Homo-oligomer: A and B are copies of this chain.
Amino acid sequence: MDWVSVHALTFDVFGTVVDWRSSIIHEGTRLAAAKGITHVDWAEFAVAWRAGYGPAMDRVRQSDLPWTHIDDLHRLILERLLVEFEIGGLSEDEKEHFNRAWHRLRPWPDAVPGLHRLKARYTIATLSNGNVALLTNMAKQAGLPWDCILSAELFRRYKPDAAVYTGAAALLGLPPERVMMVAAHKGDLWAARAVGMRTAFVPRPQEFGPGQQVDTAPESWIDVQAGDFVDLARRLGA
């Protein structure tokens, strides 16, 4: 692949940069200890919260909801899960703090060192369905050294809408072929490729927990595949 002409890398975040599952389990366990909640399987809760996210975005895509950012979608899902998991007695402040667990997600161990290496050679930006405040707070907390925070929120469209990818390249002042999308999910890469972006696949086999089936198979249409971000830096000459 010719990546000498690539100037910027844009990153999917949930699952690709940060380990949402273990982070939400950690936050749930802390909440449970503080509130004396003993009956909840937080691994199950974490996966259910994440599973609500696609359908919630679909409601926005289909105009069943007006534009709604991820913090508010997470909160909608949380309200439903608190009923389903029979978690009561949380104050508004406690719910809001728990909802913002998504601002405090922890990076995969290779993410920060890998991003530092990549940043030395490339412009590195988020390109996430997470809102700007979430991504900014997460970066500050986790030490993710982004050059620029780009979000679906800026375009009021959720990935994989083409407008998000073309909009990101335009804001970076680059033609799409000079931007490489980095993601753990092939659907994201496929949509980026469709507008002319380069693609890097970094599978995260542990995203949904141990022993889960995750598609890590190489694809001929993907430009580069790497084991983690440090490996990606090496493969991209950074």
Contact = CB atoms under 8 A, between A and B. Distances in A.
Interface residues of A, number: 20
A137 B123 CA distance: 8
Contact of A148 (B123, B149, B173): B149
Given A123-B137, A133-B172, 8 more contacts: A125-B136, A131-B171, A132-B148, A133-B171, A133-B174, A136-B148, A148-B149, A149-B149
A188 interface: no
A139 interface: yes
A153 B167 CA distance: 12
Contacts of A171: 131-133, 153-154
A71 interface: yes
Given A147-B139, A154-B154, A131 B173 contact: yes
B123 A172 contact: no
Interface string A116-147: 00000001010000011110110110000001
A193 to B, nearest CB: 22
A148 B137 CA distance: 10
Nearest to A145: B145
Given A149-B148, A149-B149, A173 B140 contact: no
Contacts of A136: 123, 125, 147-148, 172
A173 B172 CA distance: 23
A143 to B, nearest CB: 11
Interface of A: 71, 123, 125, 131-134, 136-137, 139-140, 147-149, 153-154, 171-174
Contacts of A137: 123, 173
Q: Give the 4 A-B residue pairs with the shortest CB-CB distance, closest first.
A: A133-B173, A132-B171, A136-B148, A148-B149
A172 B136 CA distance: 8
Contacts of A131: 171, 173
Contacts of A173: 71, 131-134, 137
A132 B172 contact: yes
A172 B139 CA distance: 13
A73 B140 CA distance: 33
